[in-house]
Structure formats: C-alpha cells, structure tokens
Amino acid sequence: MSTPRGEFTSRFGFLMAASGSAVGLGNIWGFPTNAASNGGAAFLFTYLILVFVLAYPALMAELIIGRHAKANAVTALQGLSRGTISRGMGTFVGFAGIITVSLILSFYTIVSGWMVAFLIDPLARIANLDSLADWLTTDTILRNALFVMLFMGLTIYVVSAGVKDGIEKWASRLMPSLVVILLLLILYVITLPGASDGMRAFLIPDFKQLIDPGLIINALGQAFFSLSLGAGTMLIYGSYVSKKENLPALGGMVALLDVGVAVMAGMLILPAMYVAQANGVAIYDESGGLIAGPGLILSVLPALFNSMGSAGLLVALAFFLLMTIASLTSSISMLEVPVAYAVENHSVGRRKAALIIGGIVAIICLTIVANFDDLFDLVVTVTTEYSQPLGGLFFCIFAGWIWNRNSLLQEIKQGFPEVEQSLFWKIWPFYVKFICPVAIAAVYIQLLS
C-alpha cells in the first residue's frame, strides 16, 4: 500500500470524470426511449423528482463515504462499521459492488463495441470499402468479439494511466466534445421534416400514465443507472476528491449535468425517430410501442442516416462518435472500481491490475456474446434492476445508520464549513436515513411482486 493514492487535480477534472461516468448509454439511449414510451414529459417530470429526491441523496452518500475513507468500497465500508456484524456487512456490500460493476461493464462493453463498429462503418463507406462496411454492421459473433476486445483495450489503456493522467485527462477532453457534438446534432436534426412530432412525443405530458406504478419503477431504475449508483463507482470517484471541495455542491452539479444531457438526448433521439418515420422507416414494433432496444440504435437510426445521402455519412459519424465517447467515459469508471481494490488491498501495480481484471471481464463479455440470447438480458436485469438499487439502499444505510453522525458532519464540513446552517444538512441526513431506504425498498418490493 505504499503507492500514493491518485487525486483529481481540479474541480473541473472531477466534474468531467463524474459526469462522464454518469452520462452514458443510459442517458442517450435509455432515457429518451423510456420517456417516449412512458408518457413523455410526465416521465421527465417523475424522473426529475426522483433524481433530486432519491438519487441525489444516494449519490451524496457514496461521494461522502468515499472521500472520508480515501479508499475503495470494501475498505471504506469496513472503516465505517462499529462491530463485527456491520463490518461483515461492509465487506459483503463492498464485494457485491465490485461484482455488480464488473458485470455491468461486461454487457456495457458489448454494446459499446457495437458503437465503435458503427463508428467505423461510415469511414469504410467513405473509403469505398463497402464489404467491410457491411461486415461492420452485420451482427456476427466474430464482429462482436473483436469489438469487445477493442473497446476493452481502450478502457484498460485509460485506467492503466491512473486517476490524473488517465481518467481525469481523458474525461476532460471527451466530455466537452460530447456536449458540442450533441448540440450540433440536435441543431441539424430539428430542422428536418417530422422532427417536431418527435419533440411533441418527448415534451407533451400524458399525465394518465403517472398513476402507473411501472412508470415509477422505470424512472427510479433509470435514475440509479444513469447516476452510476449502487455499485461503488461514485464512491471511488469521491475518494479521489480533495478535502478542500464542497461535496454537496459538486454532487449537485453532477446530477444537473447528467439530467441536462439526458434531456438534450431526448431532443435528439425522438425528433430523429420521427424524421426516420417521415422517411419511411418503421419506428413502432408489432405491439405498437416505440422501438427502444438494440433495434433503435442499430437499425432505425442507421436507416435514417442512409436515407440522408452523403450528409448521412457525416451525421452517422458524429452520432456514433458521441455514443463511443459516452460509453468510454462510463466504462473507465466501472473498471476503476475493481482496479482500485486490487491496487490498494493487494498491492498489485495499476497496469497489471487493469490488464488482469479487464481481461477477466473481457472473457465474461465473450461468454455473453457466444450465448447472447440466454445471457444478455439476464445480466442486464440482474445488475441494473436488482443489484444497483439494493447496493444504493446499503450505501444509504451505511451513511445514515452505521456511520457516526458527528464524524459524518466533520467530513462534509471539510470544504463546506458552514454546512450546519445549510438546507443540505437540514434535509439530507433525514433523507438518507429514512426516505431513501424506505423508498428504494418499496420500489424493490414492487419489482419482486
């Protein structure tokens, strides 16, 4: 444990890294389609409330625990405990987080690999390599396996370079580019015929759907996935934040950035889908719902880009670059969780840890690729619908019930000396102690019933 721990060198660096983790396929792909199929702005409204009422307090629990311990999830939770039972629970929750995030990384890498293949496709078409382009966009085990390895290689490359020279450096370059590309794409797509119908589907609320308990479950799941909660990711990023920073304010900015990008993505994806419909592409499935799964990104949008002629090549390039950036800044935050544990608790060098753990996750990816129909949905459901909310629940229990309240206050006071007089301190401890655990448990019970 002699190697000094990494730390983000600036507030901007942390914001880019943490919002890079949060902003991912969940925002650009998951959120818009979830919103469109669950009452448009009614979903957005529910989502915003859940983000600030439940997800933000849970995010703060992870960030504060992480910064206090300046250690990985296992050590951090063990350190808060006051007896053998809570220590055992800390060990269990820490390891459960490591396993959850590694499994999330395994399905995320597969999908991210598709994004890279579709990013190279327009380049191949520009170079007149049509058969390569066809291979890139055809779903085969070989293509999926190769792109899993390529994307995992990129993730390992960034994580090996460390917190400052890898994660912070790349997130600070990639996140601003992501926002610029997203804005340019929105500006272009909303000028096309059909776009306003999509904007309407996204923004006009259908409040009848608000009484549907499925909507709340969806919105909470979406919020937890989108803010990278319940798996130790935000805990480890929190552990790299300087004691000089005001954590409640930083966490608030991360939540705002995440929601902001999700809303912007809605203004791109839904108009794009309706433009595709105006161009003769089917956007509803047999059951009458909007196509939301892999079909959306891998067939509806590419069909739209194809119908746009040569401008479509550029738009496809920009869109899949956006998706690749969003994926990479999230995947590095996932790999960092087990790597930090191996480096800190088993004295393994960072490069070696990133290579070995990334290699193991790549093998899990390849197993899923080879048994896609049996395993893919299963891994997604178990990790995002069951493990993440449960993990979030336990982080709240640690922050609210197990951690000594005075020590918790002292931690937040660093970087925020006037916290005791703030609204945050009036509300958050109560939330994290009572409201979050009860609400997450209630949603969880709904899910099981």
How many residues sit close enough to ligand PHE to count as binding (CB under 6 A)? 16
Question: Is the CB of 275 or the CB of 365 nearer to ligand PHE?
Answer: 365
Question: Under rule CB under 6 A, which residues in 91-110 are in contact with ligand PHE?
Answer: 101, 104
Q: Which listed range, 111-119, 203-211, 326-334, 419-427, lies at the site for ligand PHE (CB under 6 A)?
A: 326-334
Nearer to ligand PHE, 78 or 226 (CB): 226
| 329 scored as a contact of ligand PHE (CB under 6 A) | no
Task: Indicate the residue among 235 and 315 with the shorter CB distance to ligand PHE.
Answer: 235
Instruction: Please report whether residue 113 would count as binding ligand PHE according to CB under 6 A.
Output: no
Scan residues 154-213 and list those touching ligand PHE (CB under 6 A).
Answer: none
Q: How far is the CB of 372 from ligand PHE (least distance, A)?
A: 20
Kindly tell me which residue out of 112, 228, 324, 387 binds ligand PHE, with binding defined by CB under 6 A.
228
Of 287-306, binders to ligand PHE (CB under 6 A) are none
Q: Which tokens belong to 423? A: 């609204």
Query: What is the smallest separation between the CB atom of 21 and ligand PHE, expressed in angstroms?
Result: 5
Instruction: Tell me: does residue 231 bind ligand PHE (CB under 6 A).
Output: yes
Mark 18-37 with x for binding to ligand PHE (rule: CB under 6 A) and - for no binding.
Answer: ---xx-xxxx----------
Between 32 and 122, whose beta carbon lies closer to ligand PHE?
A: 32
Q: Which range, of 224-232, 279-287, 341-349, 436-444, touches ligand PHE by CB under 6 A?
A: 224-232
Residue among 155 and 333 whose Cβ is closer to ligand PHE: 333
Q: Name which position in 333, 340, 368, 432 contacts ligand PHE (CB under 6 A).
A: 333
Give whichever of 20 and 39 is closer to ligand PHE, judged by the CB atom: 20
Q: Report the nearest approach of ligand PHE to the CB of residue 25 (Å).
A: 4
| HEC assignment per residue over the chain | CCCCCCCCCCHHHHHHHHHHHHCCHHHHHHHHHHHHHCCCHHHHHHHHHHHHHHHHHHHHHHHHHHHHHCCCHHHHHHHHCCCHHHHHHHHHHHHHHHHHHHHHHHHHHHHHHHHHHHHHHHHHHHCCCHHHHHHHCCCCHHHHHHHHHHHHHHHHHHHHCHHHHHHHHHHHHHHHHHHHHHHHHHHHHCCCCCHHHHHHHHHCCCHHHHHCHHHHHHHHHHHHHHCCCCCCHHHHHHCCCCCCCCHHHHHHHHHHHHHHHHHHHHHHHHHHHHHHHHCCCCCECCCCCECCCHHHHHHHHHHHHHCCCHHHHHHHHHHHHHHHHHHHHHHHHHHHHHHHHHHHHHCCCHHHHHHHHHHHHHHHHHHHHHCHHHHHHHHHHHHHHHHHHHHHHHHHHHHHHHCCHHHHHHHHHCCCCCHHHCHHHHHHHHHHHHHHHHHHHHHHHHHHC
Q: Which of 330, 393, 424, 443 binds ligand PHE (CB under 6 A)?
A: 330
Residues engaged in binding ligand PHE (CB under 6 A): 21-22, 24-27, 101, 104, 225-226, 228, 231, 233, 330, 333-334
